[in-house]
Structure 1
């Protein structure tokens, strides 16, 4: 059975506050738990006026404290931004507080621009090339094989996922026999090659006997195709601001993007966001079924950059209803 989960960045909307965003994140997580979603992940990004989840471990604690059964984790922690010992201790603390509910998804990108990455990484100058060594170090802290002990953390069985938007982490996850999550919501062109590489090269491990692949994808659902397409313009405008290097909070939706973008910008958006699944329940179900068949995904992680919180809740509710998650979607 395909699992369904939620990826959130605590979006900061135009006219809203960070406090509003964090309250809405917890509210969404509570609804997702009630609707039967498997996990609720938060993503680490920095220096972005549209994202409030930069202190990811803190927001995970906020969500886990306000829910009771849904798995909560990182999608992901950008490991080169941190000392491995710190992440072992943070997630050891989370697992000790909320046993059996914490996931540790790891990425190697900075999750930000070069200037902020330099501020985060300081003199270490990490650029992700030593990610395999840093990952091995982190796992060694959890297993108690380091001269310095991670307390909390040592001896805890915290599921580690590798996240990626290219073939690097796909290859590493396959080699280590770890679950893999691909960022199809912003790198759709590399999705199929990365998943094919992961499945083809997977080596069974103590963690997994068979490959387990998750696909993150933009899903905007509404009662009609027209309303879903209107809601999707918020994310399109946000991406347009990234292209123009004029970042800001998540904007309100508009009737049409025509006149707001150039032809070149439209093509760029379609390349990065063209795989978004946007529409009425019937449209969403049809497109998702094709995605699941094509990718052989074990799990879909839905991303929804929607300005209106009620509309965001409704989008996830429609998805849950389509797959009858409540009471039938096991907690993996």
Structure 2
């Protein structure tokens, strides 16, 4: 058994043969199940203009799910600072925290949230990508505005990171860090070592605090876990070729897909750093990741076709945690 808080990240996959509205309803159903299962928190990622992922604003999803659940902490994983005015982000999440005291998180990140150049330009109103300095100023301004809004309750701020640069900013601002091991696993340990070495205590966080997000697909057999993980592997293979318009395929569609040898090698390396398999295997992988990273909390992202299979994976993993 693993003695750590267990949380979840929702990326709202739009399954082939379904609509974005269907994905929205599935998010709602999954959240209620996670609440029932005793998960600690549920975060919503910000994505734009993707055929595979719903463009559902984290602030709106947070409001909806906080109102329809009773115990989950809910929030963003994350709001992408370059796309938003810091004051607006602070006002939105301070309001949510006042409406749902003790249950709202504000995870802030930097990524574009899209591979579509036109969408990226529209989000930035024609400006180029944010510089390191601009991003740091936006995060600091958001934190300052949070304390000035004056609603009493505040959300719990986190900084999302997948590199040393993100870890540096989290340490400088004295924020808890959420590391995207499910995106750039090779960077995780180095980034966290740097974060702990350079952390400065702040009113937000007195000591380093680490959440690690892992891609987890759990089933009663390895074969079934491989089947469930294959649709997302098809999407990743498209990204390896620079194709961002790959839909999230059905299991049958994914089974018919043929990967190139290069894709198979890259996907196998990635999967080996995540946790795909039976409960026994998933427990061993998550235990190893927790030990290697010193994580204070684990967050699962489970991009599985069909709500029932996704919830079943979450339920099997929940049984591994005390």
- With the shorter chain as reference, the TM-score category is over 0.9
- Of the three residues 83, 86, 89, the one matched with 1:87 is 89
Cα distance in structure 1, aligned partners of 2:246 and 2:260: 19
Cα distance in structure 2, aligned partners of 1:300 and 1:163: 14
- Residues 69-124 of structure 1, C-alpha deviation per residue, up to 9 Å, x if partnerless? 10000000001101111111211221122221110000012111333111001145
Q: Please say if residues 233 and 256 of structure 1, whose CA atoms lie closer than 8 Å, have aligned partners that are also in contact.
A: yes
Identify the residue that residue 294 of structure 2 maps to in structure 1.
296
CA 1:75–1:256: 2 relative to 1, 3 Å: closer
Q: Please say if residues 141 and 154 of structure 1, whose CA atoms lie closer than 8 Å, have aligned partners that are also in contact.
A: no
Q: Please say if residues 60 and 74 of structure 1, whose CA atoms lie closer than 8 Å, have aligned partners that are also in contact.
A: yes
CA 1:250–1:123: 2 relative to 1, 3 Å: closer
Count of equivalent residues: 317
Cα distance in structure 1, aligned partners of 2:185 and 2:22: 31
Q: Please say if residues 186 and 273 of structure 1, whose CA atoms lie closer than 8 Å, have aligned partners that are also in contact.
A: no
Structure 1 unaligned regions, length at least 5: 145-149, 325-332
- Of the three residues 193, 198, 212, the one matched with 1:196 is 193
CA 1:111–1:30: 2 relative to 1, 3 Å: same
TM-score by length of 2: 0.93
- Residues 114-148 of structure 1, C-alpha deviation per residue, up to 9 Å, x if partnerless? 3311100114545142111111111121222xxxx
- Residues 301-323 of structure 1, C-alpha deviation per residue, up to 9 Å, x if partnerless? 00011002111000000011111
Q: Please say if residues 215 and 299 of structure 1, whose CA atoms lie closer than 8 Å, have aligned partners that are also in contact.
A: yes
The reply on whether 1:14 has 2:16 as its aligned counterpart is yes
RMSD: 1.9
SS of the equivalent of 2:112 reads: coil
SS of the equivalent of 1:181 reads: strand
- Of the three residues 197, 219, 228, the one matched with 2:216 is 219
Q: Please say if residues 9 and 53 of structure 1, whose CA atoms lie closer than 8 Å, have aligned partners that are also in contact.
A: no
The reply on whether 1:275 has 2:279 as its aligned counterpart is no
Cα distance in structure 2, aligned partners of 1:50 and 1:3: 29
Q: Please say if residues 40 and 72 of structure 1, whose CA atoms lie closer than 8 Å, have aligned partners that are also in contact.
A: yes
Q: How does 1:234-245 map to 2 (within 5 A)?
A: 234-244=231-241, 245=243
Following superposition, the deviation at residue 205 of structure 1 comes to 2.2
SS of the equivalent of 1:122 reads: coil
The reply on whether 1:177 has 2:174 as its aligned counterpart is yes
- Residues 213-264 of structure 1, C-alpha deviation per residue, up to 9 Å, x if partnerless? 1111100000111111111101101112223315233112259869611122
CA 1:141–1:126: 2 relative to 1, 3 Å: farther
Cα distance in structure 2, aligned partners of 1:104 and 1:311: 28
Following superposition, the deviation at residue 156 of structure 1 comes to 3.8
TM-score by length of 1: 0.90
Q: How does 1:31-180 map to 2 (within 5 A)?
A: 31-113=33-115, 114-129=117-132, 130-144=134-148, 150=149, 155-180=152-177
Cα distance in structure 2, aligned partners of 1:19 and 1:258: 27
Q: Please say if residues 103 and 158 of structure 1, whose CA atoms lie closer than 8 Å, have aligned partners that are also in contact.
A: yes
Cα distance in structure 1, aligned partners of 2:29 and 2:267: 30
Q: How does 1:298-317 map to 2 (within 5 A)?
A: 298-317=296-315
Cα distance in structure 2, aligned partners of 1:138 and 1:228: 40
